[in-house]
Amino acid sequence: MSTRRVTVTECPGGPLLIRGADEVVGIDGTVAPVERAVVALCRCGRSDRLPWCDDSHRDRRRRKKP
Least separation, in Å, of the C-beta of 27 and ligand FES?
A: 16
Residues 26-55 that bind ligand FES (CB under 6 A): 42-44, 46-47, 53-55
**Residue 15 Cα distances to 2, 10, 40, 48, 66, angstroms:** 28, 7, 6, 14, 24
Among 15, 18, 34, 51, binds ligand FES (CB under 6 A): 15
| Angle at the Cα of 36 from the Cα atoms of 43 and 18, rounded to 5 degrees | 35
Among 14, 17, 19, 32, binds ligand FES (CB under 6 A): 14
